[in-house]
Amino acid sequence: MQQNPSRIGVIADTHNLLRPEALHYLSTCEAIIHAGDICTPEILDALRKIAPLTAVRGNNDTGEWAQSLPTHAKLTIQQVTILVVHEMADVSGYLNADPNRENIRVVITGHSHRPSINEQDGVLYMNPGSAGPRRFKLPISAGMLIIHGSQVSANFDLLPI
The residues spanned by each domain of the chain are 6-158
Sheet holding 141-148, edge to edge: 53-55, 31-34, 6-11, 141-148, 151-158
Taken as a whole, the chain contains a residue count of 161
Taking only the tens place, the pLDDT of each residue in 129-160 is 999 999 888 999 999 999 999 999 999 999 98
- CATH fold of the domain at 6-158: Purple Acid Phosphatase; chain A, domain 2 (3.60.21)
pLDDT value of position 36: 97
pLDDT value of position 81: 97
* Sign of the torsion angle spanned by Cα atoms 106, 111, 117, 122: negative
**Taking the CA of residue 74 as centre, how many other CA atoms within 13 Å lie in the half-sphere pointing to its CB?**
10
pTM of the predicted model, to two decimals?
Answer: 0.95
**Mean of the pLDDT values across residues 15-23?**
96
Distances in Å between the alpha carbon of 27 and those of 10, 90, 99, 138?
A: 12, 30, 30, 24
**Mean of the pLDDT values across residues 39-52?**
97
**Mean of the pLDDT values across residues 26-39?**
97
Residue 1 has pLDDT above 70, yes or no: no
Distances in Å between the alpha carbon of 130 and those of 50, 64, 103?
A: 19, 24, 27
Taking only the tens place, the pLDDT of each residue in 68-119 is 999 999 999 999 999 999 998 877 776 666 788 889 999 999 999 999 999 9
pLDDT value of position 101: 82
- Compute the CA torsion angle 100, 101, 102, 107 (nearest 10 deg): -20
Residues 142, 7: contact at Cβ < 8 Å?
Answer: no
pLDDT value of position 98: 76
Q: 78 or 161: whose pLDDT is higher? A: 78
